[in-house]
Structure 1
């Protein structure tokens, strides 16, 4: 069994309120959860309009599947308008 635990620190642009941020982050989380069937949530920076931190856990019997899922998640986040990845922390077992 192969596991990857990721933490994405992302910068948000064009957000004027926490309500807008919450809407953007919830949509992003739902899209990733639906497409990849992973465990994902907002971890920290809840009171900041310009920053968010998202945590993801991926489990599979094959390492190449875990790597492809991580690449797909990263791609979705990078291609979301108004979002820039500032830092990615990854642990794997």
Structure 2
């Protein structure tokens, strides 16, 4: 079994309150989960209305599949108009016994 995780730091475009930020983050998480079937959670910057940090995790039997999926997720984030990607960091794909 192979596991990979991404830490995605975002700037929320147009957010002027925590309510607007939460609306955008909820939409991003919902669409990301539906599109890629990954686990997603907001993991940092909870009280900053223009920033969000998401953790994205996936499991597969094939490491190459996870690598391709993480690249696709990075492209997906860069194509969105409602967020700006500040940083994306991937943990190495590892084999779990």
Paired residues for 1:1-93 under 5 Å: 1-92=1-92, 93=94
Instruction: For residue 82 of structure 1, report the CA deviation from its aligned partner.
Output: 2.9
List structure 1 segments (4+ residues) > 4 angstroms apart after TM superposition.
none
8 Å CA contact retained: 2:12, 2:24: no
For the residue of structure 2 that corresponds to 1:10, the secondary structure is strand
Give deviations 1:22-44, integer Å, cap 9, x for gaps.
11111110111111111111111
TM-score (norm 2): 0.88
TM-score (norm 1): 0.92
Q: CA RMSD in A?
A: 1.1
Unaligned ranges ≥5, structure 2: none
Unaligned ranges ≥5, structure 1: none
For the residue of structure 2 that corresponds to 1:56, the secondary structure is strand
For the residue of structure 1 that corresponds to 2:91, the secondary structure is strand
